[in-house]
Structures are given as C-alpha cells and as structure tokens.
Amino acid sequence: MTEYEYKYAEDIREIATEIIKNDKDFRHIDLNKVVVVRTEKHQKGEHVLGSCGFLSNRTQFLTQKKYWIEFPPVFDELNDAQKKIVVEHELYHIPKDEKGIVPHDRGEFNKIIEKYGLDWIEVYKDAENKVKLLQDKEKIDKDIKKVDKKLKKDDVKH
C-alpha cells in the first residue's frame, strides 16, 4: 500500500473563506469543521481537481471536524480564477444539515455556469493534460532512479 503525504492548505482555505463570506449559498458552512489539504497523489479519473468527503464518526470525534477537502498537485497549476471555481465546486458538496455529502447535480453545475459562463469547462480539459504530463514525468523520474540504481550497482562490480 502506498502512503501519501498530506499538508494543510491554508491558502486554499483562504479562498474558501472568501467564497463563504461573499456568497449566501455557502453561509451555512463552518470552515472550523472542514479539513482542507493538499495531497501528492493524483486522483483517480482524468478530470479530478479536488474532492470532498464526510469523515467517519470516529474521525469526527477525534478531530472535531466533519468534512475533508483535498486537492491533488494539478490544482496548483490552475490560475486564481480556476482555483476559485474548483474550491466553490467542492464547497457545494457540504449540505446545510451537515449530514453526509451533497452529490453532483445539475443545479450546482447550472449555478457555476450562470456565474462563470461555459469557459470554466476548459479548466477540466486543461487539467486532463496537466495530470497526464505530471504522471508521465513521475514515470520518467522513477525510470531514471532505476537506471541510476543499476548503474551504481554496476560501478560497484567493476
């Protein structure tokens, strides 16, 4: 099993704070109950720029948090406007009654389209290309490490 590093993402939390402060659709969200993190892993699926989840009862008890929102490396490749759209999208998953997660629905996407226009879809197309490039780079880096390791072994033999 591969372990991934997670880091608190205060800069992304600030984006969420501004969204909540300026948009009545999100005033029900208490960010003190949300863990916002970056992860070094790439999400499954080509278009994933962030994800939101509901913490288990045990984790809620231990952390006094209810939700997590995580962002993979490709998120940092986005411009400020794109980051705001992605964070807003993840905030739509947190319901007013704090029970579970709100699934994707047309209403949420319609609100984003009304606010930002259809151009926001380009965010996902760009992300697909960036994720592919990052994955290719990681594979190349791994291959280089293997070759370096083999060369070092060969040097020891000679």
Contact predicate 75/36, CB 8 Å: no
Query: Which pTM value belongs to this model?
Result: 0.70
Over the stretch 121-137, which tens digit does the pLDDT of each residue have? 666 667 667 767 777 78
End-to-end CA distance of the chain: 36
Tokens 């045990």, residue? 58
Residue 17 belongs to what H/E stretch?
helix 10-22
Contact predicate 75/49, CB 8 Å: yes
- Parts of the chain with a pLDDT under 70: 1-4, 42-47, 105-110, 117-125, 127-128, 131, 155-158
CATH number, domain 6-157, options 3.40.50.12140, 3.30.2010.10, 3.40.50.2300, 3.30.70.580: 3.30.2010.10
Four-point Cα dihedral 11, 35, 19, 49, nearest 10 = 80
Contact predicate 68/52, CB 8 Å: yes
Contact predicate 143/51, CB 8 Å: no
Rounded CA-CA distance 77/34 in Å is: 23
Question: Where do the structural domains in the chain lie, given as residue ranges?
Answer: 6-157
